[in-house]
């Protein structure tokens, strides 16, 4: 086998290896994107539940304030704890979204738009909870 043939075979082999590596990287990125999207969806649902619970506890605290002040304080405390949980989950969602932004994928555009809408709704719901908490402290 002459040198030119050997060099050509090596070039072909390297090209195949580069293609395989590129395909593996794309497949890994695709799987990571899909997993991140599922996790974001799940965490977004948890955030909504935490906000719902925070609102429930804040309303109950107001309802019980006069007749059962100690229990009302506990309800108020639980409302605050639920907001802490919501914040913790939100921070993780933000990190996952940042990862998606680092690896643009057309499949994530719709999810990003949906998340932005849900994020706006969550902000409004959190404001409502904070108003209820302020009324309790007021």
With a CB cutoff of 8 Å and minimum separation 6, the contacts of 14 are: none
Indicate whether 61 belongs to any domain: yes
CA dihedral 26, 28, 33, 35 (to 10 degrees): 160
**Residue whose structure tokens are 């059962």:** 68
What pLDDT, on a 0 to 100 scale, did the predictor assign at position 63? Answer: 97
As a whole number of angstroms, the distance between CA 26 and CA 70 comes to 57
Q: Which domain holds residue 68?
A: 34-137
Residue at 63 is within a domain: yes
Residue 100 lies in a domain: yes
Count other C-beta atoms under 10 Å from residue 115's C-beta: 21
Torsion angle of the four alpha carbons 130, 132, 134, 136, in this order, in degrees rounded to the nearest 10: -140
What is the DSSP code (8-state) at residue 42? H
For the chain, the average pLDDT equals 84
In this prediction, residue 35 carries a pLDDT of 83
Q: CA-to-CA distance for 57 and 124, rounded, in angstroms?
A: 17
Tally of structural domains, the chain: 1
Residue 2 inside a domain? The answer is: no
pLDDT exceeds cutoff 70 at 129:
yes
Q: Report yes or no on 130 lying in a domain.
A: yes
Residue 54 lies in a domain: yes
Does residue 99 fall inside a structural domain? yes
Query: What pLDDT does 60 receive?
Result: 98
Distance CA 135, CA 124 (A): 17
Residue ranges in the chain assigned as alpha helix (H): 3-64, 69-102, 108-137
Tens digit of each residue's pLDDT (9 = 90 or more) over 20-76:
666 665 555 566 778 888 898 899 999 999 999 999 999 999 999 999 999 999 999
13 in any annotated domain: no
* pLDDT recorded at residue 53: 97
């Amino acid at each position: 086998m002459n040198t030119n043939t050997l060099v050509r075979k090596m070039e072909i082999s390297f090209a195949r290896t580069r293609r395989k590596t590129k395909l593996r990287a794309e497949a890994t990125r695709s799987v990571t994107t899909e997993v991140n999207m599922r996790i974001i969806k799940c965490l977004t649902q948890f955030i909504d539940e935490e906000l719902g619970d925070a609102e429930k506890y804040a309303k109950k605290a107001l309802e019980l304030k006069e007749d059962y002040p100690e229990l009302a304080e506990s309800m108020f405390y639980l409302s605050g704890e639920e907001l802490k949980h919501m914040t913790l989950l939100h921070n993780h969602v933000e990190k996952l979204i940042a990862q998606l932004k680092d690896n643009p994928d057309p499949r994530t555009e719709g999810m990003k738009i949906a998340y932005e809408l849900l994020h706006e709704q969550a902000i409004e719901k959190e404001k409502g909870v904070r108003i209820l908490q302020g009324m309790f402290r007021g």
